[in-house]
Structure 1
Amino acid sequence: MSIFENSFKLLKKFKLGKSKFEINVHNIEYPESYYQPTKDLKEILLMFDDAVKNINKKYKAYSCEELFKNKFGEELSEVDFIYPERIEAYSQRNNVPIDLLKEFDSEIRPLREEVCKGIYEEITLHKCIALYKYGDNSNYILDQIAKYEMIYGNKDKAKMFKKMSVEIARRIKKEERNELINNIKNYMGNFFSKIIKTKTKEQPNIDHEKSYSSRVISDNKKRVLQGMIAVIEGDINPYGKEPEYQENWLRTFQMLNDELSKSGIDLNCEDNKDNDKLIGEAWAKICNQVKNEKSLTYYAKLVEEAQARKAEKSQPENEISHTTRTNSEPVRS
Structure 2
Amino acid sequence: MNRPLLKVENLSKHFGSPRAPIRAVEDVSFEIARGETLGLVGESGCGKTSLVRTLLRLTDATSGNVLLDGADLSRARGRQLHELRRKMQVVLQDPYQSLNPRMRVDRLISEPWALQPGTLPRARWAQETVNLLEAVGLGAEHAHRYPSEFSGGQRQRLGIARALALNPELLVCDEPVSALDVSVQAQVINLLGRLRRERDLAMLFVAHDLAIVRHVSDRVMVMYLGKIIETGPKQAIFGAPAHPYTQALLSAVPSPDPLLRGTRKRIVLQGELPSPANPPSGCRFRTRCWKATSLCAEQEPALMARTSAGGLLTACHHAEPDRLSTAAA
**Same-fold call, TM cutoff 0.5:** no
Normalising by structure 2, report the TM-score.
0.28
Structure with max Cα Rg: 1
Say which structure, 1 or 2, has more relative contact order (CA 8 Å, 6+ apart). Answer: 2
Which has the larger strand fraction?
Answer: 2
Normalising by structure 1, report the TM-score.
0.28
Which has the larger helix fraction?
Answer: 1
